[in-house]
């Protein structure tokens, strides 16, 4: 089997694992009351962009072969790096879901009896789930042997992250005041000690 084919299989298996990890939380979230939602139409567009970059564009390429001019061959080093980054991403994704628990929502929301989470992976950084999305997009860039499919996830996550992050931190600061401000002073966003 070529490294390129292995890369595609690893990407697909990781995607299935991602859905299996999220499914129980998405089910529970439907039953958790929301007291405030912020920027709903903007959030809808951002989630659509993330879905397009991480699923739709790669699937179009996989199914149709277009744009074949941007295909290249992977080597096994890229596949191994991609698989390791993917594993780290899925671990962080699962841990942040566990630590965030019922405060989780796909868009920006304050839940009924919402509390600030500062433990677990949230001790290291404020946005471990978004860090896991960045790692996922990086893994995709290593694993798919086509420039458009490889880069689409990174572009989509960059748009999602940089458009959403200030709104999310403002919403949490308005809801939790000094508690969240203190947490912001103690932690960085996605890279411990750096950013």
Contact set with ligand SAH (CB under 6 A)? 96, 100, 103-105, 108-110, 116-117, 122, 127-130, 168, 172
Burial of 16 (0-12, 13-18, 19+ CB in 10 A): exposed
Q: In whole angstroms, how close is the CB of 187 to ligand SAH at the nearest point? A: 9
* Cβ 76 to ligand SAH shortest distance, Å: 32
Q: How far is the CB of 167 from ligand SAH (least distance, A)?
A: 10
Question: Smallest distance, Å, CB 109 to ligand SAH?
Answer: 4
61 or 93: whose CB is closer to ligand SAH? 93
Q: Does residue 87 have a cis peptide bond before it, meaning omega lies within 30 degrees of 0?
A: no
Q: Kindly provide the b/e burial profile for residues 36-64, where b requires at least 16 CB atoms within 10 angstroms of the residue's own CB.
A: eebbeeebeebeebbebbbeebbebbeee
CA 175 to chain centre: 24
Q: Which is nearer to ligand SAH, 122 or 136 (CB)?
A: 122
Nearer to ligand SAH, 109 or 145 (CB): 109
Q: Whose Cβ is closer to ligand SAH: residue 11's or residue 104's?
A: 104
Q: Kindly report the backbone phi and psi dihedral angles of residue 68, in degrees, each rounded to the nearest multiple of 5, phi listed first.
A: -60, -25
Task: Rank residues 36 and 66 by Cβ distance to ligand SAH and give the closer one.
Answer: 36
- Alpha helices by DSSP H, listed for the chain, are 3-30, 40-51, 57-64, 76-100, 128-143, 147-176, 178-186
> In the bound complex, what is the minimum distance in angstroms from residue 112's beta carbon to ligand SAH?
12
How far is CA 115 from its chain centroid? 22
Enter the DSSP assignment of 188. B
């Amino acid at each position: 089997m070529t490294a390129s084919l292995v890369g595609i299989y690893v990407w697909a298996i990781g995607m299935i694992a991602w859905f299996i990890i999220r499914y129980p939380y998405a089910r529970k979230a439907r039953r958790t009351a929301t007291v405030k939602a912020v920027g709903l139409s903007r959030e809808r567009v951002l989630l659509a962009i993330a879905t397009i970059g991480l699923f739709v564009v790669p699937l179009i390429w996989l199914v149709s072969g277009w744009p074949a001019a941007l295909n290249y061959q992977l080597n096994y080093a890229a596949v191994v790096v991609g698989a390791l980054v993917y594993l780290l991403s899925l671990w962080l994704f699962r841990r942040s879901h566990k630590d965030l628990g019922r405060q989780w929502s796909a868009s920006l929301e304050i839940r009924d009896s919402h509390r600030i989470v500062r433990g677990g992976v949230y001790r290291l950084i404020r946005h471990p789930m978004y860090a896991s999305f960045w790692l996922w997009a990086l893994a995709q860039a290593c694993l798919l042997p086509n420039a458009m499919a490889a880069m689409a996830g990174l572009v989509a996550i960059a748009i999602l992250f940089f458009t959403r992050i200030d709104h999310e931190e403002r919403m949490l600061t308005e809801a939790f005041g000094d508690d969240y401000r203190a947490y912001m002073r103690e932690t960085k966003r996605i890279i411990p000690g750096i950013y």
